[in-house]
Chain A
Amino acid sequence: MSAGGAFPVEMTKLQRLRDAGLAAVAALLLWQAVVWVTGVPPFILPGPWRVAESLVANAGLIAENAWVTISEVMIGLLLGAALGAATALHLMISPLARRLVLPIMVFSQAVPVFALAPILTLWFGYGMASKIAMALLIIYFPVVSTFYDGLRRTDPGLLDLARTMGAPPSRTLLFLRLPAALPAFGSGLRLAAVYAPIGAVIGEWVGASKGLGYLMLLANGRAKTDLMFASLFVLALFAVVLYAAVSAFTRRMTRWASETTDGA
Protein backbone atom coordinates (compact mmCIF):
# COMPACT_ATOMS: atom_id res chain seq x y z
CA MET A 1 0.00 0.00 0.00
CA SER A 2 2.82 2.39 0.89
CA ALA A 3 4.62 1.94 -2.46
CA GLY A 4 1.39 2.51 -4.39
CA GLY A 5 0.32 5.34 -2.10
CA ALA A 6 3.16 7.72 -2.99
CA PHE A 7 2.60 7.69 -6.74
CA PRO A 8 -0.85 9.36 -6.96
CA VAL A 9 0.39 12.16 -4.64
CA GLU A 10 3.27 12.80 -7.05
CA MET A 11 0.76 12.91 -9.91
CA THR A 12 -1.47 15.49 -8.23
CA LYS A 13 1.59 17.62 -7.42
CA LEU A 14 2.58 17.54 -11.08
CA GLN A 15 -0.97 18.29 -12.10
CA ARG A 16 -1.11 21.24 -9.70
CA LEU A 17 2.14 22.59 -11.12
CA ARG A 18 0.85 22.17 -14.68
CA ASP A 19 -2.42 23.92 -13.83
CA ALA A 20 -0.59 26.82 -12.20
CA GLY A 21 1.66 27.11 -15.26
CA LEU A 22 -1.33 27.13 -17.59
CA ALA A 23 -3.06 29.80 -15.50
CA ALA A 24 0.08 31.97 -15.59
CA VAL A 25 0.39 31.64 -19.39
CA ALA A 26 -3.31 32.49 -19.77
CA ALA A 27 -2.95 35.58 -17.57
CA LEU A 28 0.10 36.76 -19.57
CA LEU A 29 -1.75 36.23 -22.87
CA LEU A 30 -4.74 38.17 -21.55
CA TRP A 31 -2.43 40.98 -20.44
CA GLN A 32 -0.76 41.10 -23.86
CA ALA A 33 -4.19 41.02 -25.54
CA VAL A 34 -5.43 43.99 -23.48
CA VAL A 35 -2.32 45.97 -24.47
CA TRP A 36 -2.85 45.17 -28.19
CA VAL A 37 -6.58 45.72 -28.28
CA THR A 38 -6.67 48.98 -26.31
CA GLY A 39 -3.45 50.34 -27.83
CA VAL A 40 -2.52 51.74 -24.40
CA PRO A 41 0.90 53.47 -24.54
CA PRO A 42 3.78 51.48 -22.97
CA PHE A 43 4.54 54.14 -20.34
CA ILE A 44 1.04 53.50 -18.93
CA LEU A 45 0.95 49.71 -19.29
CA PRO A 46 3.72 47.80 -21.08
CA GLY A 47 2.93 44.29 -22.32
CA PRO A 48 4.60 41.28 -20.68
CA TRP A 49 6.96 40.84 -23.63
CA ARG A 50 8.24 44.39 -23.26
CA VAL A 51 8.70 43.83 -19.51
CA ALA A 52 10.68 40.68 -20.22
CA GLU A 53 12.89 42.61 -22.68
CA SER A 54 13.48 45.29 -20.06
CA LEU A 55 14.33 42.62 -17.50
CA VAL A 56 17.03 41.20 -19.78
CA ALA A 57 18.34 44.58 -20.87
CA ASN A 58 18.61 45.86 -17.29
CA ALA A 59 19.65 42.56 -15.71
CA GLY A 60 22.80 44.03 -14.14
CA LEU A 61 21.03 47.06 -12.70
CA ILE A 62 18.15 44.97 -11.32
CA ALA A 63 20.47 42.35 -9.84
CA GLU A 64 22.55 44.99 -8.10
CA ASN A 65 19.47 46.56 -6.49
CA ALA A 66 17.82 43.21 -5.78
CA TRP A 67 20.93 42.14 -3.88
CA VAL A 68 20.52 45.16 -1.56
CA THR A 69 16.83 44.46 -0.91
CA ILE A 70 17.43 40.74 -0.40
CA SER A 71 20.18 41.48 2.11
CA GLU A 72 17.95 43.91 4.00
CA VAL A 73 15.10 41.41 4.13
CA MET A 74 17.28 38.46 5.17
CA ILE A 75 19.10 40.38 7.91
CA GLY A 76 15.82 41.92 9.13
CA LEU A 77 14.18 38.51 9.14
CA LEU A 78 16.98 36.82 11.08
CA LEU A 79 17.28 39.65 13.62
CA GLY A 80 13.49 39.98 13.98
CA ALA A 81 13.01 36.24 14.46
CA ALA A 82 15.87 36.03 16.98
CA LEU A 83 14.75 39.09 18.95
CA GLY A 84 11.11 37.99 18.78
CA ALA A 85 11.93 34.48 20.01
CA ALA A 86 14.09 35.87 22.81
CA THR A 87 11.30 38.24 23.87
CA ALA A 88 8.69 35.47 23.86
CA LEU A 89 10.93 33.25 26.01
CA HIS A 90 11.56 36.13 28.36
CA LEU A 91 7.83 36.84 28.67
CA MET A 92 7.33 33.15 29.47
CA ILE A 93 10.02 33.06 32.17
CA SER A 94 9.48 36.37 33.91
CA PRO A 95 6.16 37.54 35.40
CA LEU A 96 7.70 41.00 35.77
CA ALA A 97 8.41 41.15 32.04
CA ARG A 98 4.83 40.09 31.37
CA ARG A 99 3.47 42.91 33.54
CA LEU A 100 5.80 45.59 32.15
CA VAL A 101 6.43 44.63 28.53
CA LEU A 102 3.16 43.06 27.42
CA PRO A 103 1.00 46.24 27.74
CA ILE A 104 3.63 48.29 25.90
CA MET A 105 3.83 45.72 23.14
CA VAL A 106 0.08 45.64 22.69
CA PHE A 107 -0.10 49.45 22.67
CA SER A 108 2.78 49.72 20.21
CA GLN A 109 0.76 47.61 17.79
CA ALA A 110 -1.74 50.47 17.58
CA VAL A 111 1.00 52.57 15.95
CA PRO A 112 1.11 51.80 12.20
CA VAL A 113 4.66 50.65 11.57
CA PHE A 114 4.68 52.42 8.18
CA ALA A 115 4.24 55.75 9.96
CA LEU A 116 7.61 55.13 11.60
CA ALA A 117 9.48 54.79 8.30
CA PRO A 118 10.42 58.50 7.96
CA ILE A 119 11.71 58.68 11.53
CA LEU A 120 13.71 55.45 11.06
CA THR A 121 15.32 57.00 7.97
CA LEU A 122 16.14 60.06 10.04
CA TRP A 123 17.73 57.95 12.77
CA PHE A 124 19.48 55.25 10.75
CA GLY A 125 20.17 57.12 7.51
CA TYR A 126 19.58 56.35 3.85
CA GLY A 127 21.56 53.11 3.91
CA MET A 128 20.51 49.53 4.65
CA ALA A 129 20.22 50.02 8.42
CA SER A 130 16.89 51.90 8.31
CA LYS A 131 15.36 49.25 6.01
CA ILE A 132 16.60 46.42 8.21
CA ALA A 133 15.06 48.21 11.19
CA MET A 134 11.79 48.56 9.27
CA ALA A 135 11.69 44.85 8.33
CA LEU A 136 12.61 43.91 11.91
CA LEU A 137 9.91 46.10 13.44
CA ILE A 138 7.20 44.82 11.15
CA ILE A 139 7.89 41.14 11.89
CA TYR A 140 8.79 41.47 15.58
CA PHE A 141 5.25 41.47 16.96
CA PRO A 142 3.87 38.54 14.91
CA VAL A 143 6.88 36.43 15.93
CA VAL A 144 6.58 37.34 19.62
CA SER A 145 2.84 36.85 19.83
CA THR A 146 2.68 33.52 17.96
CA PHE A 147 5.66 32.02 19.80
CA TYR A 148 4.57 33.28 23.22
CA ASP A 149 1.09 31.92 22.60
CA GLY A 150 2.58 28.54 21.67
CA LEU A 151 4.76 28.50 24.79
CA ARG A 152 1.75 29.21 27.01
CA ARG A 153 -0.51 26.61 25.45
CA THR A 154 1.41 23.48 26.33
CA ASP A 155 -0.95 20.57 27.04
CA PRO A 156 -1.71 20.93 30.80
CA GLY A 157 -1.61 17.14 31.08
CA LEU A 158 2.02 17.12 29.91
CA LEU A 159 2.85 19.81 32.47
CA ASP A 160 1.18 17.73 35.22
CA LEU A 161 3.24 14.76 34.09
CA ALA A 162 6.43 16.81 34.25
CA ARG A 163 5.51 17.88 37.78
CA THR A 164 5.00 14.31 39.00
CA MET A 165 8.33 13.46 37.38
CA GLY A 166 9.99 16.13 39.54
CA ALA A 167 11.10 18.36 36.65
CA PRO A 168 12.47 21.82 37.49
CA PRO A 169 10.69 24.68 35.62
CA SER A 170 13.74 25.49 33.47
CA ARG A 171 13.94 21.96 32.08
CA THR A 172 10.16 21.82 31.62
CA LEU A 173 10.49 24.96 29.50
CA LEU A 174 13.40 23.55 27.51
CA PHE A 175 12.14 20.00 26.94
CA LEU A 176 8.35 20.41 26.92
CA ARG A 177 7.13 23.96 26.37
CA LEU A 178 9.74 24.87 23.76
CA PRO A 179 9.31 21.88 21.43
CA ALA A 180 5.52 22.00 21.88
CA ALA A 181 5.57 25.67 20.78
CA LEU A 182 7.60 25.07 17.61
CA PRO A 183 4.55 24.78 15.30
CA ALA A 184 3.30 28.16 16.59
CA PHE A 185 6.80 29.62 16.15
CA GLY A 186 6.75 28.21 12.60
CA SER A 187 3.55 30.07 11.74
CA GLY A 188 5.12 33.23 13.17
CA LEU A 189 8.14 32.74 10.91
CA ARG A 190 5.94 32.19 7.86
CA LEU A 191 4.07 35.44 8.62
CA ALA A 192 7.44 37.14 9.05
CA ALA A 193 8.57 35.88 5.63
CA VAL A 194 5.54 37.60 4.08
CA TYR A 195 5.92 40.88 6.00
CA ALA A 196 9.69 41.37 5.92
CA PRO A 197 9.92 42.24 2.16
CA ILE A 198 7.02 44.70 2.59
CA GLY A 199 8.86 46.42 5.45
CA ALA A 200 12.12 46.71 3.46
CA VAL A 201 10.40 48.10 0.35
CA ILE A 202 8.40 50.69 2.34
CA GLY A 203 11.68 51.73 3.93
CA GLU A 204 13.23 52.13 0.48
CA TRP A 205 10.31 54.21 -0.75
CA VAL A 206 10.72 56.68 2.08
CA GLY A 207 14.37 57.27 1.39
CA ALA A 208 17.08 55.18 -0.20
CA SER A 209 19.76 55.23 -2.86
CA LYS A 210 19.63 51.49 -3.64
CA GLY A 211 17.22 48.56 -3.61
CA LEU A 212 14.30 47.26 -5.66
CA GLY A 213 11.85 49.66 -3.98
CA TYR A 214 14.14 52.56 -4.86
CA LEU A 215 14.53 51.30 -8.44
CA MET A 216 10.73 51.01 -8.85
CA LEU A 217 10.23 54.62 -7.68
CA LEU A 218 13.03 55.80 -9.97
CA ALA A 219 11.66 53.91 -13.00
CA ASN A 220 8.17 55.15 -12.29
CA GLY A 221 9.31 58.75 -12.05
CA ARG A 222 11.08 58.49 -15.42
CA ALA A 223 8.07 56.81 -17.07
CA LYS A 224 10.16 53.63 -17.55
CA THR A 225 7.12 51.58 -16.63
CA ASP A 226 8.58 48.41 -18.17
CA LEU A 227 11.56 48.63 -15.79
CA MET A 228 9.15 49.25 -12.91
CA PHE A 229 7.27 46.05 -13.76
CA ALA A 230 10.50 44.12 -14.23
CA SER A 231 11.68 45.17 -10.74
CA LEU A 232 8.29 44.33 -9.29
CA PHE A 233 8.45 40.89 -10.90
CA VAL A 234 11.88 40.19 -9.36
CA LEU A 235 10.64 41.39 -5.96
CA ALA A 236 7.58 39.14 -6.14
CA LEU A 237 9.72 36.21 -7.27
CA PHE A 238 12.05 36.72 -4.30
CA ALA A 239 9.10 36.99 -1.88
CA VAL A 240 7.63 33.72 -3.16
CA VAL A 241 10.97 31.89 -2.99
CA LEU A 242 11.58 33.24 0.52
CA TYR A 243 8.16 32.09 1.70
CA ALA A 244 8.65 28.64 0.15
CA ALA A 245 12.08 28.33 1.79
CA VAL A 246 10.80 29.39 5.21
CA SER A 247 7.80 27.06 4.86
CA ALA A 248 10.08 24.14 4.00
CA PHE A 249 12.30 25.00 6.97
CA THR A 250 9.42 25.20 9.46
CA ARG A 251 7.91 21.98 8.12
CA ARG A 252 11.23 20.25 8.70
CA MET A 253 11.43 21.73 12.18
CA THR A 254 8.00 20.36 13.12
CA ARG A 255 7.63 17.32 10.94
CA TRP A 256 6.03 15.48 13.89
CA ALA A 257 3.12 17.95 13.95
CA SER A 258 1.93 16.95 10.48
CA GLU A 259 2.33 13.21 10.93
CA THR A 260 -0.94 11.33 11.12
CA THR A 261 -1.89 8.01 12.58
CA ASP A 262 -1.60 5.20 10.10
CA GLY A 263 -3.29 2.70 12.42
CA ALA A 264 -0.20 0.45 12.61
Chain B
Amino acid sequence: MHNNPILRISTKILFAPIILFGLYVQFHGDFGPGGGFQAGVIVASAFILYSLVFGIEAGKKLFPPNVNLILLALGGIIYGGVGIVSMILGDEFLAYNILGSSPQSGQHIGILLVEFGVGLTVSNVMIALFNAFASYDKIKEK
Protein backbone atom coordinates (compact mmCIF):
# COMPACT_ATOMS: atom_id res chain seq x y z
CA MET B 1 0.00 0.00 0.00
CA HIS B 2 2.86 2.36 0.75
CA ASN B 3 3.85 2.86 -2.86
CA ASN B 4 0.46 3.23 -4.47
CA PRO B 5 0.46 6.83 -5.79
CA ILE B 6 -3.34 7.09 -5.95
CA LEU B 7 -3.70 6.18 -2.28
CA ARG B 8 -0.81 8.41 -1.17
CA ILE B 9 -1.99 11.50 -3.03
CA SER B 10 -5.67 11.08 -2.20
CA THR B 11 -4.75 10.64 1.47
CA LYS B 12 -2.74 13.86 1.36
CA ILE B 13 -5.65 15.67 -0.28
CA LEU B 14 -8.28 14.20 2.05
CA PHE B 15 -6.43 14.52 5.36
CA ALA B 16 -7.12 18.20 6.06
CA PRO B 17 -10.76 18.23 4.85
CA ILE B 18 -11.57 15.23 7.07
CA ILE B 19 -10.23 17.06 10.12
CA LEU B 20 -12.05 20.22 9.04
CA PHE B 21 -15.28 18.24 8.75
CA GLY B 22 -14.62 16.76 12.18
CA LEU B 23 -14.22 20.23 13.66
CA TYR B 24 -17.41 21.34 11.92
CA VAL B 25 -19.33 18.41 13.38
CA GLN B 26 -17.77 19.11 16.78
CA PHE B 27 -18.59 22.79 17.05
CA HIS B 28 -21.77 22.83 14.97
CA GLY B 29 -23.35 20.16 17.19
CA ASP B 30 -25.43 22.82 18.94
CA PHE B 31 -27.21 23.69 15.71
CA GLY B 32 -27.28 20.51 13.64
CA PRO B 33 -26.71 16.82 14.05
CA GLY B 34 -23.34 16.01 15.51
CA GLY B 35 -21.34 16.37 18.67
CA GLY B 36 -18.29 15.11 20.47
CA PHE B 37 -18.71 11.40 19.82
CA GLN B 38 -19.14 11.66 16.06
CA ALA B 39 -16.53 14.38 15.67
CA GLY B 40 -14.00 12.42 17.70
CA VAL B 41 -14.44 9.40 15.47
CA ILE B 42 -14.14 11.49 12.30
CA VAL B 43 -10.93 13.21 13.45
CA ALA B 44 -9.51 9.84 14.51
CA SER B 45 -10.33 8.38 11.10
CA ALA B 46 -8.11 11.01 9.44
CA PHE B 47 -5.11 9.92 11.52
CA ILE B 48 -5.93 6.23 11.06
CA LEU B 49 -6.15 6.75 7.28
CA TYR B 50 -2.70 8.34 7.38
CA SER B 51 -1.32 5.40 9.39
CA LEU B 52 -2.93 2.89 7.03
CA VAL B 53 -1.44 4.42 3.91
CA PHE B 54 1.96 5.67 5.08
CA GLY B 55 2.61 2.98 7.69
CA ILE B 56 2.24 2.90 11.44
CA GLU B 57 5.67 4.42 12.08
CA ALA B 58 4.87 7.50 9.96
CA GLY B 59 1.55 7.77 11.78
CA LYS B 60 3.33 7.68 15.13
CA LYS B 61 5.72 10.36 13.94
CA LEU B 62 2.77 12.54 12.91
CA PHE B 63 0.95 12.01 16.19
CA PRO B 64 3.32 10.78 18.93
CA PRO B 65 1.86 8.08 21.23
CA ASN B 66 2.78 9.92 24.45
CA VAL B 67 0.87 13.03 23.28
CA ASN B 68 -1.96 10.69 22.35
CA LEU B 69 -2.10 9.22 25.87
CA ILE B 70 -2.00 12.65 27.52
CA LEU B 71 -4.83 13.97 25.32
CA LEU B 72 -6.80 10.77 25.97
CA ALA B 73 -6.90 11.58 29.67
CA LEU B 74 -7.23 15.33 29.14
CA GLY B 75 -10.66 14.95 27.51
CA GLY B 76 -12.17 13.40 30.62
CA ILE B 77 -10.37 15.94 32.80
CA ILE B 78 -11.87 18.81 30.76
CA TYR B 79 -15.34 17.33 31.18
CA GLY B 80 -14.95 16.80 34.91
CA GLY B 81 -13.13 20.12 35.22
CA VAL B 82 -16.13 22.02 33.85
CA GLY B 83 -18.22 20.38 36.56
CA ILE B 84 -15.74 21.25 39.27
CA VAL B 85 -15.41 24.87 38.07
CA SER B 86 -19.17 25.24 38.23
CA MET B 87 -19.02 23.83 41.77
CA ILE B 88 -16.27 26.29 42.77
CA LEU B 89 -18.34 29.17 41.37
CA GLY B 90 -21.12 28.14 43.71
CA ASP B 91 -23.51 25.97 41.72
CA GLU B 92 -23.99 22.22 41.40
CA PHE B 93 -21.66 19.81 39.59
CA LEU B 94 -22.07 20.27 35.80
CA ALA B 95 -24.61 23.10 36.19
CA TYR B 96 -23.49 25.43 33.42
CA ASN B 97 -25.71 28.44 34.12
CA ILE B 98 -23.11 30.06 36.34
CA LEU B 99 -20.26 29.83 33.79
CA GLY B 100 -21.40 32.80 31.65
CA SER B 101 -22.77 36.26 32.21
CA SER B 102 -26.31 35.04 31.50
CA PRO B 103 -27.67 31.51 32.03
CA GLN B 104 -27.92 30.98 28.26
CA SER B 105 -24.33 31.98 27.53
CA GLY B 106 -23.24 29.86 30.49
CA GLN B 107 -25.01 26.88 28.95
CA HIS B 108 -23.34 27.61 25.61
CA ILE B 109 -19.86 27.72 27.14
CA GLY B 110 -20.49 24.63 29.24
CA ILE B 111 -21.87 22.52 26.39
CA LEU B 112 -19.07 23.59 24.04
CA LEU B 113 -16.35 22.67 26.56
CA VAL B 114 -17.99 19.41 27.57
CA GLU B 115 -18.44 18.32 23.95
CA PHE B 116 -14.83 19.24 23.29
CA GLY B 117 -13.78 16.99 26.15
CA VAL B 118 -15.86 14.12 24.76
CA GLY B 119 -14.39 14.60 21.28
CA LEU B 120 -10.83 14.68 22.62
CA THR B 121 -11.24 11.46 24.60
CA VAL B 122 -13.08 9.57 21.86
CA SER B 123 -10.67 10.52 19.07
CA ASN B 124 -7.59 9.68 21.12
CA VAL B 125 -9.01 6.38 22.38
CA MET B 126 -9.70 5.37 18.78
CA ILE B 127 -6.20 6.34 17.60
CA ALA B 128 -4.62 4.61 20.60
CA LEU B 129 -6.63 1.43 20.00
CA PHE B 130 -5.68 1.36 16.34
CA ASN B 131 -2.00 1.94 17.16
CA ALA B 132 -2.09 -0.77 19.83
CA PHE B 133 -3.59 -3.34 17.45
CA ALA B 134 -1.41 -2.34 14.51
CA SER B 135 1.91 -2.37 16.38
CA TYR B 136 1.11 -5.47 18.45
CA ASP B 137 2.08 -7.76 15.60
CA LYS B 138 5.53 -6.22 15.11
CA ILE B 139 6.56 -6.71 18.71
CA LYS B 140 5.23 -10.26 18.64
CA GLU B 141 7.43 -11.05 15.66
CA LYS B 142 10.57 -9.77 17.37
A binds B: no
Please list the residues of chain B having a beta carbon within 8 angstroms of any beta carbon in chain A.
none
